[in-house]
Amino acid sequence: MYSPAMSIPISRRFRRMSVSVLGAAALALTLGGCNSYDTTTPRSARDKAPAGSQVASGAVDCRVAKCVALTFDAGPSANTPRLLDILKQHQAQATFFMLGAKHVVKYPDTVRRIAAEGHELANHTWSHQILTDIKPDEARKEITLTQDAVARITGTRPLLLRPPQGRTNDKVAAICRDLGMAEVLWSVTAKDYETTDSALIEKRVLDQVKPDGIILLHDIYQGTVPAVPGILDGLKQRGYTVVTVSQLLAPAKPQPGTVYKP
């Protein structure tokens, strides 16, 4: 069958194919190092839940509602109590991917408050080392130190990990499987680490958001928390319900070793 591409000289077609292949390879290396890994979308996770599965009584059912998960990385910090006030005022739930060193251990009362107010406690490693760049034993230690610190403070161990910079691979997935944890990436980033402009952070989030998305923000940067009221108002105007990652997956449960990405 004739295709318009067949009229392109072979050398040009080869160059185009090479650029495409190299681009895909570069993306894979950027996200996960040399090894490949599979991802599962929140919708796919829900669709594969056992027949008859139900969400918790009184919880949002994202099979019906238009949901988006709100997540915060690298805290808690001195900014987090104000963020919790805002979330309470808007009746919104979020997932907090927390750093252990200088954060969880420094703000134990804030960690307890996050849990007490119904938000989801999650792991962002101990000291933000890139897990794909270090030895397996070191990567495991980065994860377990924060698991242990959160457990000492709250009595519970997180089920979710966000690898620093979103960089993961088969090695990291295997460690998470052994530890009973799932990994969570994202679909929306405001790049709030590069600006203190709260209006810009708000705009970036609202411009990118889609149903079943996962929003990445950081509660350690000065421009982020002031942007949250506008983000929540904008999401509500668009018909979204803001949930935790586990609520987004429900009635499915986070599966150890799985990497979730919208």
Is 218 among the catalytic positions? yes
Q: Which residues contact 183 (CB under 8 A, 6 or more apart)?
A: 160, 161, 162, 163, 168, 172, 173, 176, 258, 259, 260
* 261 close to 166: Cβ distance less than 8 angstroms: no
The encoded tokens of residue 207 equal 């411009």
Positive or negative CA dihedral for 88, 82, 234, 59? negative
Rounded to whole angstroms, the Cα distance separating 33 from 35 reads 6
Catalytic residue among 47, 73, 128, 192: 73
Provide the phi-psi class of 251: left if phi over 0, else alpha when psi is between -120 and 50, else beta.
alpha
Catalytic residue among 103, 124, 218, 219: 218
Is 61 among the catalytic positions? no
- The gap from C-alpha 67 to its chain's centroid, in whole angstroms, comes to 14
Residues serving a catalytic function are 73, 218
